[in-house]
Structure formats: C-alpha cells, structure tokens
Chains A and B, each alone.
Chain A
C-alpha cells in the first residue's frame, strides 16, 4: 500500500475524530438542555423537550443526516457538510443523552433535597450545589456507552461523501482491490479507537467516583441504550 493511501486513511481518521469530539460536545449541550427541560415545572419547555427526545429517538440517524444534506437545500439552505454531519450526529446522541441526564437527576435521593431545604438553599442552589454534582457522577458510565455509539454512527457520514475513515477505506479498497483486508483493517481501527475512548471514560469515572470519596465504581444509571 502506497504512502498516499496511508495518508488518506490518516486524513479520514482525523475527520472521524473531529466528528466524534464535536458531536459529543454539541450532543452534551442538547442532552443537558433537553434533560433538564424534561424536569422543568414549565409545561411548554417540558413538551418541547419531550418532542425532541421522542422524535430523535424514533428517527434513524442516517435519515436525519440525509435530510440535512439532501432535503434542506430544497428549502434554500445549504449546510457546510462537516457541520451537517456534526449536527445530525449530535441531535441523535443528544436525545439519548437527555434520558441519561434526566435519569441521573431523578436518581439523586429526595433526602438530599430535603437536607438542602433544611439549610434554606434556594431551588437553583439545591440543583447546582447538591443535585447536579451527584447526578454528574452517575452520568459518566452511560455517557461513555453513548460516546462509543457516537463513534460508530460517524461512519454514516461516508454515505453523504464526507471523507471520514470509512470513506477513505472505500478509496483504499478500490485502489488496492483487497476487500477483505481493507474492511477488516477498518473494523480493527474503529475497535481500537473505541477501546481508547472506553479507557478515557474509565479514568473520568474514577475521578468522578473520587469526588464522592469512593474508590470503587459509583452506582450506574439506566437510560443509555
């Protein structure tokens, strides 16, 4: 395999990592906005958040991606391809993340809220100082699972001609004609990235557990698929 092809794969790897990192960052914003809105006393906010989470958990990520790339221009709006990719992925992962956020906040015992009330914290202080720091710890493991799901979903962008790892893999396959080795290599590549991500999440998990004085894993939360 020529150096040019290796460089192509490297380029693809960078695009895949970009999609994963930006997708995760924006996905987190969607997840917190929608997850906290689901718990809001405001009915309109709750309704919008519910429509978002139910809607995007019912829509295939690939269809959302196709819509942003191929349908939106029909409404006169052409998105930057990489931006469209990040948006589609983060809308999708954010809907699942919202359930994680909601589940983690709800899992903080009521007794903690009562103790915060007994110390006369305001409702927002109760959330910020007592509930969220504990909920965050419970969110880390399911967020780790979602991060791997996000990595896997980035491969979809190759179908809208974004030059990610999978796209470049196809080029390599065409150039070398070695189908089995190329796809096997791609799978191993993704497997290794996933492994690295999982290790990083474990580190964060341990840090998070330490913030509650634990040396072992904290309790996990349902909600991630």
Chain B
C-alpha cells in the first residue's frame, strides 16, 4: 500500500477548518489561563491560610490529573448541575483552567524574582498595597516570564486534539469523520500531524526570539 497524495490533498480543506477551530479553542483557553493563572498566583500569596491552602490544593490537584478526564468531567457533569455551556466554551474552560495551574507557577516565579528591596522601597514611599502590585511588582515580574508563558501557549495548543472527545470539530474529529468514509487514515493522520507540527513551530517562533532576547539581556 502506498501513500495516496490525492486523498491527502482532498482532505486538506476540511483539515484546515478543523485547525481553525482548534486555534480558536486554544486562543480562548489561553486567555483564560493567563488571567486565571495570575489570580491563582496572587491568591497563593494571600496572608489568609483559608484562602492560600484551598487554592494551592486545587492548583496541585488539577495539575497532576489528566486533562482528558477533566474535559469529560466538565462536559458530562456541568449540565447535570444546571450549567449548560457550548462544547467550545467547555473546551476553552477545560484547557484554560488546566493551563492556569501551570501559568500560576510561572507568575509565582516571576513575582519571587522581584528583589525584596523593591517591596521595601514601595513601603518606604508609603505606596498602597494595590499600587505596589500594579505599579511596582507586576510590571517587573511579568515581562521576565513572557517566554515561559509562551511555551505554555504551545503546550496548550498541542492538547487541543483531546477536544475531540467533547464533540468539538477540531482536526482529529475531521480525521475520524473523513476516515470513517474512505478509510485513508494513513494519509489523513499524517497530514494532520504535519499541520500540528507547522502550527506549533509557527507559535514557537516568536517565543524562541523572546527567549533569546531575554537571555542576552540577562547575560
């Protein structure tokens, strides 16, 4: 049996539509991960134990369990408690919450990297707590961690094929739908793999550029 280029070419438009859907889910999920992760990071620095500990537990728990099962949970359990969301919204939330547990660690490292002297200087100037965070700490902490955050954008995108289990029409769903008619799985999955690889490399490119720039600045 040989590779059937015709079949691969014929499936390309459908696969690209699947890729667009995957990118949409990834983008939504990433926004959630960026915002929620910062929230987690800040809550884990709270002075109140009853805030800090549950958040820490939730973050550790979500980070050490499979995204796939989390997606099942959200998709099948949320409706039973009266929360009706579209598949896309469910997928974005699943990806977003899962990766928020990673980005929160990145933010945490960034915040810990701000020298103690900066906090002391803010205190010496009697800046309020809010102002210290928004004007002094975060502006120093966030730029430094942009490359690390970017790496999670790639990782998150690479988890989008799992959205096939909650009926989102991303690339693997297309592969399964088309393949069930023509059985040309070899061609379909190979082309899908190439699409993922190219997209991941395209997302990785600005991240690598930033990484190199930061490394040069810190050298």
Contact = CB atoms under 8 A, between A and B. Distances in A.
Contacts of B63: 148
B132 interface: no
A183 B73 contact: yes
Interface residues of B, number: 44
Interface string B174-196: 01000100001111111011001
Given A55-B197, A63-B193, A186-B69, A70 B185 contact: yes
A225 interface: yes
Interface stretch (A111-119, A130-138, A153-161): A153-161
Contact of A183 (B69, B162, B189, B201): B69
A137 B89 CA distance: 43
Given A155-B69, A190-B65, A76 B200 contact: no
B11 interface: no
Contacts of B201: 54, 58
Which of B69, B188, B192 neighbours the largest number of chain A CB atoms within 10 Å of its CB?
B69
A: contact size bracket: 35 or more
Nearest to B64: A194
A186 B192 CA distance: 30
A4 interface: no
A3 to B, nearest CB: 24
A59 B200 contact: yes
A31 interface: no
Nearest to B201: A58
B184 A60 contact: no
B197 A58 contact: yes
The 5 closest A-B pairs by CB, nearest first: A74-B186, A194-B64, A155-B66, A58-B200, A183-B73
Interface of A: 54-55, 57-64, 66-67, 70-76, 148, 151-156, 158-159, 166, 169, 179-180, 183-184, 186-187, 190-191, 194-195, 198, 225
